Amino acid sequence: MADIIRELEKKSNIARQKILKMTTECEGGHLAGSLSCTDLLVALYFHILNHRPNKPLWEKRDRFILSKGHAAPVFYVLLSMSGYFPDEELSTLRKIDSRLQGHPDCKKLPGVEISTGSLGQGFSAAVGMALGYKYDNHKGHIFCLLGDGECDEGQVWEAAMFASNYDLKNITAKTFPFLIQRFELHDFFSRAVYLVTVPVNNGCYVF
């Protein structure tokens, strides 16, 4: 496990450098919101998520929903590092005709499951996908990352209650009858160890 954590930490540092470079070049982008979740997404994409960058629509894939779409820079960096598109394209962030818009667009970029940006809506989509997976006996998992501000949206509360009512497994959130997990800020080890060791079954996993 220690070797895994060290490797993930290296990737996380590389990802941060790429985020800083691309946002500096375009003189825009939500830097803080991207850097704050880099560790989590590195652990997700390089140790947990079952996906195939060469087959973005692979039917047996897990799905990740970035509900706080303004954190697009870190999302793009992780997609690039995973092999969904060339690293050179990161320099086109927010430029005219670029696929890397201010918020992710599922019609333009492989690896993006749903277009997000209007806060509060990503969780509902994730819960709907989780319900579909459950009814289809799909073995994949749904992962969703929310921002703190959007948790004030009524739609998020409704989605959480829906997930609880339909017994969607392994939902981790800050409210409602879900498992609560607290981490120290930027304690990569504690967060990564939790993410790579928690048993994940069918359902929606929210962190």
State the residue range of the domain holding 142: 2-206
pLDDT at 83: 98
User: pLDDT by residue (tens digit) across 82-120?
Assistant: 999 999 999 999 999 999 999 999 999 999 999 998 888
| pLDDT greater at residue 27 or residue 196 | 27
Lowest-confidence pick of 49-58, 95-104, 181-190: 181-190
Question: Which contacts of 4-9 are long-range, i.e. CB under 8 A and separated by 24 or more positions?
Answer: 4/47, 4/192, 4/196, 5/188, 5/189, 5/192, 5/193, 7/46, 8/39, 8/42, 8/43, 8/46, 8/47, 8/188, 8/192, 9/188
pLDDT at 12: 94
Lowest-confidence pick of 12-16, 115-119, 194-198: 194-198
Confidence of residue 10 (pLDDT cuts 50, 70, 90): very high
CATH of residue 158's domain is 3.40.50.970
Mean per-residue pLDDT, 8-28: 95
Q: How many domains is the chain partitioned into structurally?
A: 1
User: pLDDT by residue (tens digit) across 19-33?
Assistant: 999 999 999 898 999
| pLDDT greater at residue 138 or residue 206 | 138
